[in-house]
Structure formats: structure tokens, C-alpha cells
Structure 1
Amino acid sequence: MLQELGPDVQWVRKYVTNDKIYCVYNAASEELVREHPRRGGLPADTVAQAMTIIDPTTAEA
């Protein structure tokens, strides 16, 4: 299903909590991010763009 959307969207990972699912994508647009769950019959209530990544490697810089 994701392959049908083309090379401009990549699903990276999913985080599951007690009451929510969070998905991380690399995508060219918000529309592509919303289309993947829509095709699977799932809601995508909020889409937010990450402006920066902070991880252990950024502390070494």
C-alpha cells in the first residue's frame, strides 16, 4: 500500500502507547503522510513536522 504512494514517502517507525499510535514518516508533503493511514482505514488526527532531531549523536557535536 505504501509503495503505491511513490518514493516521496517512507514510513520509518510506529510507537504504540496505551491509547494512541504515533507514526514517524519521511515525506515530501503532509498529504502523503495522511494518505497512508487513510488507505488503511485509520485516523490521522494530527500531523506535525519535526524541525530538528535531538539524539545522543547531537550531544557529541
Structure 2
Amino acid sequence: MPKYIIERKLANAGKLGAGDLCSISQKSVGVLQELGPEIQWVNSYVTDDTIFCVYIAPNAQLIKEHAERGGFPADQVLEVRNIIDPTTAELK
């Protein structure tokens, strides 16, 4: 199943407290439960003004529906085409 990176621009995201992040996460999980098992949230990276989320889903439209239902921004939804890491350099 395809993996996606979602860019969510959110001013001062890096200043969100644990309670705020918990509330956002609970909302996201609730919407995911409504949408069913085809969509999975893997994790998210919070930076100063953006949250980058990793999801597994059959298509980008389902990712966008999750964002719409949850009231989350989804400024970019990018399909991951490949994954590399330091071990990729060892392939011959």
C-alpha cells in the first residue's frame, strides 16, 4: 500500500504543548476509526511552523478526506516513491 508524507502548515506548531498535541492526536485517531482500516497514521514530525505526517493509505484522496473531516490542513500530500537510508549506500 502506498505511503504518503503530508505537509501541514501550522503557525507555531513547535510551541504546542503536550495537551495540545494529545488533543490533535485524539481527533486524528477518531477520524481514522471512522474511515476504517485502509488508512493508517504512522507518525508525525513537528517543526516550528509545520507538521509532517507519514500515512499509509490506498490513495491521496483518502488522506485528504481525513484532513477535511478532522479540520486539519493538508497543504501537500506527497506519495513516497522510494525510501533510502545509510544502508542504501551498501547495495551493489
- TM-score, normalization by structure 2: 0.58
Q: Work out the CA distance in 2 between the residues paired with 1:55 and 1:3.
A: 32
1:2 is aligned to: 32
Match of 1:43 in 2: 73
- The letter of the residue matching 1:46 is Q
1:18 and 2:59 aligned: no
Q: Which has the greater radius of gyration?
A: 2
Which residue identity does 2:55 align to in structure 1?
Y
Q: For structure 1, which runs of at least 5 residues remain unmatched after alignment?
A: none
* Matched residue count: 61
1:13-59: CA deviation from partner (whole Å, max 9, x where unpaired): 11111011111101001011112221111110111101001124434
